[in-house]
């Protein structure tokens, strides 16, 4: 636990003592904010038009659902942006240690690989949590000016968090494979995109196979969260995915030791 905390603290401090954390959080907020603005202003226009029509025909104004029409697409957008930003956070976790040689310090200190992996993973997770909390300002605005349901927002954020942790776990794995940060980041994005897209092909293959593919789709499991449905099967999926990423990281580090890389 002590070792884990030492690694975790060092990583977290290193994020916030370099520009990387601020740049990533800033850009993530900026892009999410732009799309938030577009989606919300579009929603407001649709509402106003509907109101006008209702007045014209002397009908009661329709109830448009802000959760469905604004919050859900906003969450989906953020899940995509996270895919491109989180690898920028994870790429250095191991690659940099390999490049500068500090890995020799870690791997000759009485710290287990698992403690190191969990420490690094948790530091990335906390940084991501900060990112998500920063975006909650968008949601707070919606609550001030409208009456969305709270439930789907909370499950949506839980889904976003779990999805992001999956990115981070595999980002860590790809970082453990190479001393080149760019290679680590690009392979992470490619890998995650593959697990996104795996759900799309399910429409083109036999239903049995399609069902399997859909089960592995990273984003497929997110839909229910965004809709406000909390289903343990999705939670279990993400937790398994995360565990797999961390487990592979451990294997990769141990095998690099044997190969002398």
Q: Which residues bind another protein (CB under 8 A)?
A: 2-3, 6-7, 10, 13-14, 17-18, 100-112, 257-258, 260
Q: In angstroms, what is the minimal distance from the CB of 20 to another protein? A: 11
Residue 42 or 100 with smaller CB distance to another protein: 100
Q: In angstroms, what is the minimal distance from the CB of 2 to another protein? A: 7
Q: In angstroms, what is the minimal distance from the CB of 17 to another protein? A: 6
Q: In angstroms, what is the minimal distance from the CB of 9 to another protein? A: 8
Q: In angstroms, what is the minimal distance from the CB of 19 to another protein? A: 11
137: CB partners within 8 A, 6+ apart: none
CB 172 within 8 A of CB 94: yes
CB 64 within 8 A of CB 45: no
Residue 108 or 232 with smaller CB distance to another protein: 108
Residue 107 or 248 with smaller CB distance to another protein: 107
CB 129 within 8 A of CB 161: yes
CB 213 within 8 A of CB 202: yes
Residue 7 or 242 with smaller CB distance to another protein: 7
To which residue do tokens 């240690």 refer?
Answer: 97
Residue 13 or 49 with smaller CB distance to another protein: 13
Q: In angstroms, what is the minimal distance from the CB of 24 to another protein? A: 16
Helix locations, the chain, DSSP H: 2-17, 19-56, 66, 72-90, 92-100, 102-106, 113-145, 150-177, 181-197, 207-216, 220-227, 232-259
CB 4 within 8 A of CB 73: no
To which residue do tokens 């038009």 refer?
Answer: 49
Residue 59 or 110 with smaller CB distance to another protein: 110
Q: Is the dihedral of CA 200, 201, 204, 207 positive or negative?
A: negative
């Amino acid at each position: 636990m002590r070792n884990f905390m030492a690694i975790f603290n060092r990583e977290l401090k290193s994020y916030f003592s370099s520009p990387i954390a601020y740049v990533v959080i800033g850009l993530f907020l900026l892009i999410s904010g732009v799309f938030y603005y577009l989606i919300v202003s579009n929603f407001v226009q649709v509402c106003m038009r509907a109101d006008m029509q209702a007045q014209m025909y002397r009908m009661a104004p329709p109830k448009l659902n802000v959760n469905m029409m604004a919050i859900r697409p906003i969450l989906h957008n953020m899940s995509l942006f996270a895919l491109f930003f989180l690898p920028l956070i994870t790429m250095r976790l191991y690659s940099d240690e390999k490049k500068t040689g500090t890995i020799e310090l870690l791997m000759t200190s009485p710290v287990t690989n698992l403690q190191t992996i969990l420490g690094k993973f948790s530091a990335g997770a906390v940084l991501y949590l900060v990112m998500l909390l920063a975006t909650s300002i968008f949601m707070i605005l919606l609550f001030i000016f409208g009456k969305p349901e709270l439930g789907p927002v909370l499950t949506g954020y839980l889904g976003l968090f779990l999805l992001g942790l999956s990115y981070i776990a595999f980002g860590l794995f790809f970082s453990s494979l190479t001393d080149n940060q760019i290679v680590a980041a690009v392979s992470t994005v490619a890998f995650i995109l593959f697990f996104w897209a795996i759900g799309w092909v399910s429409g083109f293959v036999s239903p049995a196979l399609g069902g399997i593919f859909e089960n592995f789709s990273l984003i497929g499991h997110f839909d229910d969260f965004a809709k406000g449905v909390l289903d343990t099967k999705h939670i279990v999926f993400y937790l398994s995915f995360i565990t797999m990423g961390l487990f592979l990281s451990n294997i990769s580090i141990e095998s690099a030791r044997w190969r002398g890389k």
